[in-house]
Amino acid sequence: MDNLYQHLDPRTRASRTEYTISLICCFILYVFITRILPEIYRDLYADKDIISFVVGVILGIIFLIFIIRRLRDTALSWIWAFIMLLPYVNLLIILLLCFIPPDHFKEKQTASEPTSDPQPKSLPNSVEPESTPEPEPEPEPEPISLTDLEQSLINKYSALYQQYKNLSPEEATDLATTLIKEAKQETLQNHTYDLPTNLGSLVLQNTSPTDQYAKSAYDLIQRRLPRLRSEGVTDKDIKWWWNFSQIERSMIIKNDEMEYHNFFVTQLLKTQTQFPKKETAQNAAHALTNKRFPIYTQNLQDDAFSPDDPLPYELKERVDAFMANASRSPDFQQTLQQIQTFSTFNAFVRKQIQDKKL
């Protein structure tokens, strides 16, 4: 299933071979389901037009994802997928994408950059200066450099993506590097990149840091301690989460968001065949995904909450350990069935904490 999620993730790349195979498969499936099967089982295909429409929509969405992934592989933005709305032109683009090499347009864009600006014409009856200084070119944004810690995180998550997502080493490294750079950029903009790696210990010791950004984070955690305690968060949980570096916390959050999004997209493709209304299909997909994944937050509210609300991220390690132990138990299927009886995975977790099983 993880391999399927990776193939349906529009944020990844699709090679020429993968794209061509998907094009052929979608075409064969469409012809087989809408043309061949109705001839064999005529009694079962009374509504042939409806079936052709539904199958066409599903396969169209799937192939559109492959087009976006292939566009990314050629270094074009996914926005170019809107060109598929143009008749005849879309057929030409679909065929061309079978042959364009990876990062082809990145090379073209670099080669086609102008080397100098044209000189402006002089105005009549005007006095030209002896020399006109050329405007200095705007400096290009410097690439984000990576520390040893960030490189080790890339290696760690790349290995996980190869094992559980069935990605190639290059694809897994590219995905992990992209997430790390996004996380670093966000933490730098939020002035949280340099938060101390013993912030959890400082909170438990009531020792306020001197740095203004670290003190803001410290004060925020202190204000939320009563709510964290009511959720079952222990001192060990606080140390585990807040003694990470901020880049590690951000990477955990981004990875969770990606896993949730990938599973949601897969469920949405399934529910669209059952529910004609987009909003209904999305709600159904969210309901299925919320029973599969816990949802966490660092922004707990102090007011009343329901069992379905996001869990504090401080609980993540305990929840992961609980599910890992459950997966090794012969009663794991019963645990999965029990989760389905709750409104969300979060409600299940809160019940286990209440019963002191987690």
Q: What is the pLDDT of residues 339-352, one digit of tens each?
A: 999 999 999 999 99
**pLDDT of 30 above 80:** no
Tokens encoding 35: 């043309």
Q: What is the pLDDT of residue 145?
A: 78
Distance CA 246, CA 87 (A): 49
pTM of full prediction above 0.85? no
pLDDT tens readout for residues 170-210: 999 999 999 999 999 999 998 999 999 999 999 999 999 99
Domain ranges across the chain? 2-105
Backbone φ and ψ of 311, nearest 5°: -85, 155
Furthest-apart CA atoms within the chain: distance in Å: 93
pLDDT at 37: 67
Q: How confident is the model at residue 16 (pLDDT cuts 50, 70, 90)?
A: confident
3-state secondary structure of 43: helix
State whether the Cα torsion 344-350-326-331 is positive or negative: negative
Checking if the pLDDT of 247 tops 60, the result is: yes
Q: Is the pLDDT of residue 100 over 90?
A: no
Q: How far apart are CA 97 and CA 71, in angstroms?
A: 8
Higher-scoring residue by pLDDT: 291, 33: 291
User: What's residue 124's pLDDT?
Assistant: 44
Return the pLDDT at 137. Answer: 62
**H helix runs in 212-358, sequence order:** 212-230, 235-242, 246-271, 278-292, 316-327, 332-340, 345-354
Q: What is the pLDDT of residue 197?
A: 92
d(CA 139, CA 309): 46
**pLDDT score of 107 more than 60:** no
pLDDT > 70 in the chain, percent = 81
Eight-class DSSP state of 3: H
Q: Around Cβ 22, how many Cβ atoms within 10 Å?
A: 20
Res 117: pLDDT: 45
Mean pLDDT computed over 1-17: 66
Residues 86, 88, 94, 100, Cα dihedral to 10° = -100
CA 262 from centroid of its chain's CA atoms: 7
Q: What is the mean pLDDT of residues 296-319?
A: 86
Q: Is 135 left (phi over 0), alpha (psi -120 to 50) or beta?
A: beta
27 vs 66: CA distance, rounded Å: 13
pLDDT band at 131 (very low <50, low <70, confident <90, very high): low
The torsion angle over the Cα atoms of residues 152, 327, 168 and 149, rounded to 10 degrees, is -10
**Secondary structure letter of residue 112 according to DSSP:** T
- Beta strand residue intervals within 130-197, DSSP E: none
Question: Of the ranges 83-97, 174-188, 207-221, 323-337, which one carries the lowest mean pLDDT score?
Answer: 83-97
